[in-house]
Amino acid sequence: MQFEVWAPQAERVTLHCEGATRALTRAAGRDGWWAGEAQAADGARYGFALDDGPVLPDPRSRRQPDGPDGLSAVVDHDLYAWRTDGAGQGLPGAVLYELHIGTYTREGTLDAAAAHLGELAELGVTHIELMPLCPMPGRHGWGYDGVAPWAVHEPYGGPEALKRFVDSAHELGLGVVLDVVHNHLGPSGNHLGAFGPYFTDTARTPWGDAVNLDAPGSDEVRDYFVGSALAWLRDYRLDGLRLDAVHELRDRRALSFLEELSAAVDALAEELGRPLFLIGESDLADPRLVTPCEEGGLGLHGQWNDDVHHAVHAAVTGERQGYYEDFARAPMAALAKTLTHGFFHDGTYSAFRGRHHGRPVDRARMPAHRLVAATQTHDQIGNRARGERLSALAGPGLLACAAALVLTGPATPMLFMGEEWAASTPWQYFTDHTDPALADAVRKGRRREFAAHGWAEADVPDPQDPATRERSCLDRSERPAGEHARMLAWYRELIALRRERADLRDPDLAAVRVAFDEGGRWIAYRRGDVRVAVNLSEVPVSIPLGRPVARVLAAWERVEGAGAEGVLTVPPHSCVIAEAP
């Protein structure tokens, strides 16, 4: 088979494969590339030595059976017998479910998670959004310090297990989205710098030197990450990718990396004949991220909208610290703005940032399904000192109201695993670094960070303690019990209602009509013929819906009166979804 590697600064490159060595030659017409033939079958171990140095794993390794520092292994994707062709559903109309393989089950593997996919199909979600799967140090971690962005973490089950997971999901009608990290790679097991200018010291990110997207050599680096993205979609038949922290991609070229990537994914979708999509994580509140390239945007198909999370969280918990400050000043107004204009910060002043922030959404041109909304995410839970879920901060009624606000709103909803039954387990930050110095630096850095915000050191779990990961694993025994079962039934009801009622999937932000009472702590909005009334106060309130109620479609608590005059009396900490005649 053909082996090749980009190593523009090397004078000699040697392939080490299954105990044999072979000198590679410079590839004709491909500056900086080396190539050669060798006998190798699926599973064969190999690596490259540069200028007689140590044998390193392949930067484009498809498998790292012994971890990031070990030899690479050949993967023959043609050997897997696929049972399905793909889910075939794009982002419009989707309900996403964010899932971390290492804590979704105690076993922490793709096969163990796949055994519970039937639960998610029954719940009604349309896509599973997997947190990063690339090889990382040790066994357990969040995945954002991964390396080898073409490979699957071996303790999760490796490449074959991911294919089995995707096949099982597609058989149930579920799409699969993968979270990928292009803005940095983990410090441990990261050998890219030995091969070429994959990083640049002309810019820094919170995690170190930036990936080289615009300095000399960046053509190949861009191709590396675009190729990785396409490989996930083609070789594993994934339906989409979530791009981590795209605001940290340092790129000054006229044609941005994100435009290049989105064009390549669109071309692959046309080639394969099925929808593929990219969702970017960004804190810039800039609609240009999801504006088509031909309209002057960057061409992604969706983006996380943390403004919805912050508005809902501030409204149901009353928290005011950090970025919640901007939303807690008038929480009902903040909810109303995110429901009707997408972003809360759209050029307005942010007290948290001490400056103006964001850019307005052109509601006539941008459908709301391009914005992904959630009440909980891995970031918003795990980046709290103790990793508390919303269920630890608010009672069942307020949790039900939060779910209704997202699942009946105009944006694409996303759940975080366990949210649907108000899981009591926390989701904390955990690592398994094999480098003692790095482990200690991470531990001290996290304690120092939270100490600056007033948290005692004892309140911050040790990321390296195996118990931190164990505490973060879901406890499925809760699902059929008491308020957990009631919450699960509520989520199923809301998701089914969204699927059945086209008005709730209407992506027109301008069509959403909202009324609210800041002092009364209630908000009501119209989605076509559907009316939603949410009472976050501790007393019953009469909420005007504008038109008489034909019937109540769903309610967290019993509603007094039929709303014949267009007014519903909603119990405390409760919500009602009704239909107008």
Query: Do the strands 175-180 and 240-243 form a parallel or antiparallel pair, or are they unpaired?
Result: parallel
DSSP annotation of 459 reads G
Q: Is 379 annotated as a binding residue?
A: yes
Q: Is 309 annotated as a binding residue?
A: yes
- Crossing angle of helices 331-341 and 306-317, in 10° steps, is 150
Nearest one of 327, 304, 459 to 376, comparing CA atoms:
304
Q: Is 378 annotated as a binding residue?
A: yes
Maximum C-alpha span of the chain: 84
Are the CB atoms for 312 and 406 separated by under 8 Å?
A: yes
Instruction: Write the CB contacts of 54 (distance below 8 Å, at least 6 apart in sequence).
Output: none
Q: Is 152 annotated as a binding residue?
A: no
**CA 517: distance to chain centroid?**
33
**Catalytic (active site) residue 244:** yes
Are the CB atoms for 386 and 366 separated by under 8 Å?
A: no
Whole-Å CA distances, 160 to 85, 113, 325, 386, 464: 16, 14, 46, 35, 29
CA–CA dist 536, 575 (Å, integer): 8
Reading phi first (left if > 0) and then psi (alpha if -120 to 50, else beta), residue 273 is in left
Q: Is 503 annotated as a binding residue?
A: no
Tokens matching residue 396: 């069942």
Q: Is 362 annotated as a binding residue?
A: no
Q: What are phi and psi of 457, to 5 degrees?
A: -55, -35
Are the CB atoms for 310 and 286 separated by under 8 Å?
A: no
Q: Is 167 annotated as a binding residue?
A: no
The residue type found at 341 is: H
CA–CA dist 540, 524 (Å, integer): 14
Whole-Å CA distances, 468 to 99, 137, 182, 207, 255: 18, 16, 27, 23, 43
Whole-Å CA distances, 279 to 129, 276, 305, 367: 10, 10, 11, 14
Q: Is 380 annotated as a binding residue?
A: yes
**Catalytic (active site) residue 465:** no
- CA torsion sign for 516, 522, 525, 531 is negative
Q: Is 245 annotated as a binding residue?
A: yes
CA–CA dist 549, 546 (Å, integer): 9
Q: Is 381 annotated as a binding residue?
A: yes
Task: Give the HSE-up count for residue 565: Cα atoms under 13 Å, Cβ half-sphere.
Answer: 8
Q: Is 321 annotated as a binding residue?
A: no
Tokens matching residue 333: 């107004």
Q: Is 345 annotated as a binding residue?
A: no
CA–CA dist 35, 3 (Å, integer): 6
Are the CB atoms for 86 and 486 separated by under 8 Å?
A: no
Whole-Å CA distances, 388 to 128, 158, 180, 381, 460: 22, 31, 25, 6, 12
Q: Is 382 annotated as a binding residue?
A: yes
Which residue in 214, 239, 281, 493 is the catalytic one?
281
Question: Reduced to 3 states, what is the DSSP secondary structure of residue 4?
Answer: strand
Burial of 132 (0-12, 13-18, 19+ CB in 10 A): buried
Which residue in 244, 248, 260, 266 is the catalytic one?
244
Q: What are phi and psi of 371, to 5 degrees?
A: -105, 130
Catalytic residue positions, numbered: 244, 281
- Binding site as annotated, residues for substrate: 242-247, 306-310, 378-383
- Binding site as annotated, residues: 242-247, 306-310, 378-383
